[in-house]
Structures are given as C-alpha cells and as structure tokens.
C-alpha cells in the first residue's frame, strides 16, 4: 500500500514540478504513437472501407489475415522489425534501428490490422440502402465510400481508439527496436519497465498513472468526435 500512495504523490509531484525528463518521455510517447496511428489510419481506413463494401478480391483471406494481425504479440512484431532493420538485415542501411522511426514502424504494424479490421466491421453494418441511394444520386465510388464512412463514423472512431490504446500501452516492441535509450527512445512504457526492474515501484507507478491520465484525456477527445453529429 505504501508504494501505491507514494506513487500517487510522486505522480502529482512530477507533473506539477514540470520535470524536463518526464516531459521529454511523454512527448516522445505521443510523437511515436501519434505518427504510427496517423499512418495506420491513412492505410487502414480505406482498406477497411473497401473490404466492408465488398470491393476486394480474396476478401475472406484478407479478413483472416487482418483478424490474425490483431492478435499479433507486440514482441514478435518487434523481433521482426528488429531483424529487418538490423545492420545485418535487408533494411540495415536506413540506420533506423534504435531510433524513433523503428518504433513507429513497429507500432504501425500493430495498429494497422486493428484499424482496418474494425473499420471493415463498421462499414459492413451500414444500411445497404444508403449505398444504393448514393449511387442512384450519381455518386462516384470514392464519394460512395466517403458517404458510407461518415455513416460508420462511430465505428471508425472506435477502431482508432482501440488501435491507439493498443500502441500507447505497448512495450514489447518499442523496447526491442527502440532500446530504451535515455533522451532518445525512452517512452513512458519502457521507462515503467526500467523502474520496475530496478525496484523503483513508486516511480514506475507514477509514470503508469501519467500514461493512464494521458490516455483518458485523448480518449475523451476522440469520444467527443463520435458525438459531433448528435451534438
């Protein structure tokens, strides 16, 4: 119990004192996860929509791959990205290993199936009448997709929220490909592991609470987006 109360106190103290190292870690967490999420959305939403509208060949196979991808253990993704980016691997010349770029690559791979898979489900649930109507009004394919996506907005935001939650809290992959280098690739989750490893439970817990607060605020913002139409 002692550690828990101390953790709470330390979390408040860290936030209020404007700790520079903490700020750096929080900023990098947001940068890496934000970039990964944006890229995953950019690729995942159109693919999910196309799948949901039944426009793809080998629909079943792609769907199975997406669903399997949702269950990928982050460490496995990390290991794969590590071997790809290693100097002895095919993309070694990029020199991305142990940089934020490598962390973004890993997180995109984790987030993409979640975004695409859940977007697909959301689009599938849209009343087919709407598409027929849109097409009858002379909508192009892209316009039709856009109309359906807007209708499936709640589901698409839910897909984004789920993907965000999966990668902001993920540690296995970023630890492996980022290396938890102080001031360079240390993010909230890897800092938590480090402090747990060295027995600084209160500090680890404080960082955990900060991560949770951050996630809460961002999810709150995304939820507002879901309500936009109704408000």
Site residues (CB under 8 A) for other proteins? Answer: 30-39, 41, 86-89, 92-101, 103-104, 179-182, 184, 194, 196-199, 201, 221-222, 224-225, 227-229, 231
| Pair of tokens at residue 100 | 């934020």
- Residues 6+ positions from 3 with CB-CB distance below 8 Å: 201, 202, 205
Q: Output the CA–CA distances (angstroms, integers) from residue 225 to 69, 121, 122, 198, in the order listed.
A: 27, 19, 16, 41
Task: Specify the residue for token string 């196979």.
Answer: 61
Beta-carbon neighbour count of residue 147 at 10 Å?
18
- Residues 6+ positions from 1 with CB-CB distance below 8 Å: none
Least distance between other proteins and beta carbon 189 (Å): 16
Indicate the residue among 10 and 99 with the shorter CB distance to other proteins: 99
Given a contact cutoff of 8 angstroms between Cβ atoms, the answer to whether 119 and 45 are in contact is yes
- Classify residue 86 by its DSSP letter: S
Q: What is the dihedral of CA 27, 160, 46, 150, to 10 degrees?
A: -120
| Pair of tokens at residue 189 | 């989750």
Least distance between other proteins and beta carbon 64 (Å): 30
Least distance between other proteins and beta carbon 86 (Å): 5
Indicate the residue among 35 and 139 with the shorter CB distance to other proteins: 35
- Considering only CA atoms, which of 193, 170, 182, 181 is closest in space to residue 36? 170
Given a contact cutoff of 8 angstroms between Cβ atoms, the answer to whether 44 and 112 are in contact is yes
- Look at residue 146 and give its three-state secondary structure: helix
Least distance between other proteins and beta carbon 92 (Å): 7
Least distance between other proteins and beta carbon 135 (Å): 26
Indicate the residue among 68 and 224 with the shorter CB distance to other proteins: 224
Least distance between other proteins and beta carbon 12 (Å): 22
Indicate the residue among 58 and 221 with the shorter CB distance to other proteins: 221
Indicate the residue among 146 and 201 with the shorter CB distance to other proteins: 201
Least distance between other proteins and beta carbon 87 (Å): 4
Indicate the residue among 44 and 53 with the shorter CB distance to other proteins: 44
Indicate the residue among 62 and 194 with the shorter CB distance to other proteins: 194
């Amino acid at each position: 119990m002692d550690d828990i109360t101390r953790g709470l106190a330390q979390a408040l103290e860290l936030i209020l004192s404007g700790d520079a190292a903490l700020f750096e870690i929080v900023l990098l967490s947001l940068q890496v996860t934000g970039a990964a999420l944006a890229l995953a959305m950019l690729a995942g939403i159109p693919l999910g929509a196309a799948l949901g509208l039944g426009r793809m060949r080998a629909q079943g196979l792609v769907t199975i791959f997406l669903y399997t991808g949702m269950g990928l253990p982050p460490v496995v993704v990390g290991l794969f990205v590590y071997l790809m980016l290693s100097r002895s691997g095919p993309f070694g010349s990029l020199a991305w290993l142990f940089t934020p770029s490598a962390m973004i690559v890993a997180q995109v791979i984790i987030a993409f199936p979640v975004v695409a898979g859940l977007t697909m489900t959301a689009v599938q649930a849209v009343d087919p009448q709407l598409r027929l109507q849109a097409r009858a009004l002379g909508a192009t394919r892209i316009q039709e997709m856009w109309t359906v996506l807007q209708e499936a907005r709640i589901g698409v935001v839910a897909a984004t929220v789920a993907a965000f939650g999966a990668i902001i809290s993920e540690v296995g992959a970023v630890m492996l490909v980022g290396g938890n280098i102080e001031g360079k690739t240390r993010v909230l989750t890897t800092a938590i592991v480090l402090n747990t490893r060295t027995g600084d439970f209160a500090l680890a817990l404080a960082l955990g609470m900060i991560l949770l607060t951050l996630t809460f605020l961002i999810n709150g913002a995304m939820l507002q987006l879901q309500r936009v139409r109704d408000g």
